Amino acid sequence: MISTFRPALVLFGVLTLATGLLYPLAVTAVGQAVFPYQAGGSIVEVNGKPAGSLLIGQQFSSPKYFWGRPSATGPMPYNANGSSASNLGPLNPAFTEAVKGRVAALQAADPGNTAPIPVDLVTASGSGLDPEISLAAAQYQLKRVAAQRQMAPEQVQALLAQHTSGAMLGIFGEPRVNVLALNLALDGKTPHTR
């Protein structure tokens, strides 16, 4: 009986070693060698202290900041250990209520803004961790942020232009803005990367 199971056990051991140890080590080594900043989490430091990651969204709730895309991660927003979507469909009453609540919060923060609210300000993504918003979502918030900071809208627009990334490879996606980088620039803080 042992001779029957021996090839299966040997194959199990070899595959476990290859896929459970060697492959992860190789991928980690290549990532560290080729993309060390990204593999390290893209941590941004301000005054020698970590301020966040350019790859993972953060919660900004003060009206003087640009707000990111909502997070559906649990048990807290932007939980990198719990990356997930809500899995609620557009006809689900819980989804509709969540979107209505987000719309109400945006309108309460900027009651004079009658522009259409961009969808990425009221719906979470598949990961729940998006660090970026669309240029339309940033433009929607621009006047509120400028008024809260007592800045000219043109000044905020200039910072927004500096922190807008174009479509990936010139064709994929749309212009987008990293919320953490833009908010740090608004605070006048110079971020440093590790």
CA 78-68-162 angle, to 5 degrees, is 125
pLDDT-based confidence at 78, cuts 50/70/90?
confident
As for how many domains the chain has, the answer is 2
49-53: strand order across its sheet: 49-53, 43-46, 192-193
Q: Are residues 156 and 89 in the same domain?
A: yes
**Is the omega angle on the peptide bond into residue 50 within 30 degrees of 0, that is, cis?**
no
For residue 75, the model assigns a pLDDT of 77
Range ranked top by mean pLDDT from 18-22, 79-83, 188-192: 18-22
Question: Is 80 exceeded by the pLDDT of residue 186?
Answer: yes
Residue range 4-16: mean pLDDT, rounded: 91
What is the pLDDT at residue 39?
Answer: 82
99 and 10 part of one domain: no
Q: Which pLDDT does position 191 carry in this prediction?
A: 59
Give pLDDT, residue 129: 86
Q: For the ranges 14-28, 38-52, 83-97, 180-194, which has the lowest average pLDDT? A: 180-194
Is the domain of 28 the same as that of 97?
Answer: no
* CA R_g for the chain: 22
Quick check: 84 pLDDT over 80? no
- Contact status, residue 193 vs residue 44, Cβ threshold 8 Å: yes
Query: pLDDT > 90: what percent of the chain?
Result: 54
Average pLDDT over residues 1-24: 91
Over residues 161-180, the mean pLDDT reads 88
Do 52 and 1 reside in the same domain of the chain?
no
| 192 — pLDDT class (breaks 50, 70, 90) | low
pTM of the model: 0.80
Domain region containing 168: 36-193
> How high is the pLDDT of residue 16?
96
Claim to verify: residue 92 and residue 179 sit in the same structural domain: yes
Are 81 and 110 within one domain?
yes
pLDDT-derived band at 179 (thresholds 50, 70, 90) equals very high
* Integer Cα distance of 180 and 131 in angstroms: 7
Verify that 166 and 177 share a domain, yes or no: yes
Query: Does residue 5 sit in the same domain as residue 67?
Result: no
Residues 132 and 56 in one domain: yes
Q: Let me know whether 40 and 133 are in one domain.
A: yes
Q: Which residue has the tokens 């009986």?
A: 1
- Same domain? For 23 and 85 the reply is no
Q: Are residues 93 and 167 in the same domain?
A: yes
